[in-house]
C-alpha cells in the first residue's frame, strides 16, 4: 500500500472539518489527522463531532470537537473568532431532495440553497479572510459525492463541480479582500 503520509506533512497545522460527525467529513477528519494536522471536528451534532475527535485522539492524533451550525451566521462567526483561520478548511455538509425538479417545493429548494450554497458561503467568508491575509492554506469548500441521476434538485443547485473544489492552494487576496 502506498504511504500517503510521505506526500505531505501537516504537523503543526490546523484543519477545520465541517460535517465531521459522519460520512465524508468524518473520513476527511481522520485522514487529515493521519497527516499530522490538529483537527477541529465540527458538526451541528456536537455528540457526533466529539465521537470523531475522540477516535482521532485514541489513534494518537490531535482532535477537538466543535459544535457548529453552518446555517447560523452567528455560530460560524463565533467559531471563527474562537479558532482563527485554519490552515485547511473542509466543508462536507450538503442535502439532496430525491424527486424531479418540477415537484420540488419552494421550502425544499430554500433548504437546498441554505445548506449547499449559503452554508458554504458563510464558512468561506468567515474563515477565508484569515487564510487570505496569512497567504497560505488550502480549502475544499464543496467536498461531496457526485449527484446520482435521480438527484435533479442538487444537480440544479448552483455550486462547484462535484468532488474536491478547485480552490486548493493560496486564496487570491483580491478575491477575498477586494484589494
- For residue 2, being part of any structural domain is answered with no
Calpha distance 26→141 (Å, rounded): 15
Say whether pLDDT at 27 is over 70. yes
C-alpha cell at 124: 468561506
Determine the average pLDDT of the residues in 34-39.
96
Domain count, the chain: 1
In-domain check, residue 102: yes
For residue 89, tell me if it sits in a domain.
Answer: yes
- What pLDDT shows up at residue 165? 39
Q: Which residues pair with 66 in a beta bridge?
A: 42
Domain contains 3: no
Residue 162: inside a domain, yes or no?
yes
User: How far is Cα 62 from Cα 60, in angstroms, rounded to an integer?
Assistant: 7
In a domain, 43, yes or no: yes
Provide the pLDDT confidence category of residue 6 given band limits of 50, 70 and 90. low
Q: Is residue 103 part of a domain?
A: yes
Residue 1 located in a structural domain: no
pLDDT band of 32, cuts 50, 70, 90: very high
Residue 123 domain boundaries: 9-168
Lowest mean pLDDT among 42-51, 97-106, 113-122, 124-133: 124-133
**Which residues, 6 or more positions from 158, have their beta carbon under 8 angstroms from its beta carbon?**
117
Q: Is the dihedral of CA 89, 85, 65, 115 positive or negative?
A: negative
- Helix 46-58 and helix 23-34: axis angle, to 10°? 30
Helices (H), 3-147: 23-34, 46-58, 73-83, 106-113, 120-134
Residue 62 makes CB contacts below 8 A (sequence gap 6+) with 33, 37, 38, 39, 56
pLDDT in tens, 73-105: 999 999 999 999 999 999 999 999 999 999 999
Q: What is the CATH number of the domain that holds 152?
A: 3.40.50.720
Instruction: Please name which of 48, 29, 49, 31 lies closest in space to residue 39, comparing C-alpha atoms.
Output: 29
Amino acid at each position: 500500500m502506498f504511504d500517503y503520509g510521505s506526500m505531505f506533512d501537516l504537523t503543526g497545522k490546523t484543519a477545520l472539518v465541517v460535517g465531521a460527525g459522519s460520512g465524508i467529513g468524518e473520513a476527511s477528519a481522520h485522514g487529515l489527522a493521519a497527516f499530522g494536522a490538529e483537527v477541529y471536528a465540527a458538526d451541528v451534532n456536537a455528540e457526533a463531532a466529539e465521537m470523531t475527535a475522540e477516535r482521532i485522539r485514541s489513534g494518537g492524533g490531535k482532535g477537538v470537537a466543535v459544535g457548529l451550525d453552518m446555517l447560523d451566521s452567528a455560530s460560524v462567526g463565533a467559531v471563527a473568532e474562537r479558532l482563527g483561520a485554519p490552515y485547511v478548511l473542509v466543508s462536507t455538509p450538503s442535502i439532496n431532495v430525491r424527486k424531479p425538479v418540477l415537484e420540488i417545493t419552494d421550502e425544499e429548494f430554500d433548504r437546498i440553497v441554505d445548506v449547499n450554497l449559503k452554508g458554504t458561503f458563510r464558512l468561506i467568508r468567515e474563515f477565508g479572510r484569515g487564510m487570505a491575509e496569512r497567504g497560505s492554506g488550502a480549502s475544499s469548500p464543496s467536498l461531496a459525492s457526485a449527484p446520482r441521476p435521480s438527484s435533479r434538485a442538487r444537480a440544479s443547485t448552483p455550486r462547484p463541480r462535484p468532488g474536491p473544489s478547485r480552490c486548493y492552494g493560496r486564496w487570491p487576496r483580491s478575491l477575498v479582500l477586494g484589494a
